[in-house]
């Protein structure tokens, strides 16, 4: 039962838009993408630019995405991100076998 819990937990914690963004990065490979790029990729009336931008920033704050570069675009700044393919840092003490 414990294995099933941990298998479904990420899907319950992530918003559908975040899952779609991660899957798009996996499908497109290692090219940096912006929220504007996702609007074209998804072509969905529900996933508009401000919603995608919010979820991209949220995934970046969780270190799922990493900042790549930015460029000026139509009087604003377009930010590009890549999928963070590195493993997260382990908490000190976890590797030493300490219990929580």
User: The domain spanning residue 68 has which CATH number?
Assistant: 1.10.10.10
Structural domain contains residue 80: yes
Structural domain contains residue 43: yes
* CA atoms lying within 13 Å on the CB side of residue 93: 3
Whether 7 shows a pLDDT value over 80: the answer reads: no
At residue 92 the predicted structure's pLDDT band, cuts being 50, 70 and 90, is: very low
Structural domain contains residue 7: no
Give the global pTM.
Answer: 0.71
Instruction: Count the domains in the chain.
Output: 1
CA–CA separation, 5 and 19 (whole Å): 18
Most confident of 26-30, 38-42, 47-51, 77-81: 77-81
Whether 91 shows a pLDDT value over 70: the answer reads: no
Query: Which residue range forms the structural domain that includes residue 52?
Result: 30-85
Structural domain contains residue 59: yes
Q: Report pLDDT digits (tens) over 9-42.
A: 666 677 888 888 988 888 887 789 999 998 888 8
Structural domain contains residue 17: no
35-42 and 49-61 are packed helices; what angle lies between their axes, rounded to 10 degrees? Answer: 120
Average pLDDT over the chain, rounded to an integer: 79
């Amino acid at each position: 039962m414990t294995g099933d819990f941990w298998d479904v937990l990420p899907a319950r914690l992530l918003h559908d838009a975040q899952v779609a963004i991660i899957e798009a990065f996996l499908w497109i490979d290692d090219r940096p993408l912006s929220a504007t790029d996702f609007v074209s990729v998804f072509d969905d009336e529900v996933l508009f630019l401000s919603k995608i931008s919010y979820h991209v920033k949220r995934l970046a704050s969780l270190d799922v995405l990493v900042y790549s570069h930015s460029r000026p675009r139509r009087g604003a700044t377009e930010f590009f991100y890549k999928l963070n393919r590195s493993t997260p840092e382990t908490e000190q003490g976890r590797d030493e076998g300490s219990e929580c």
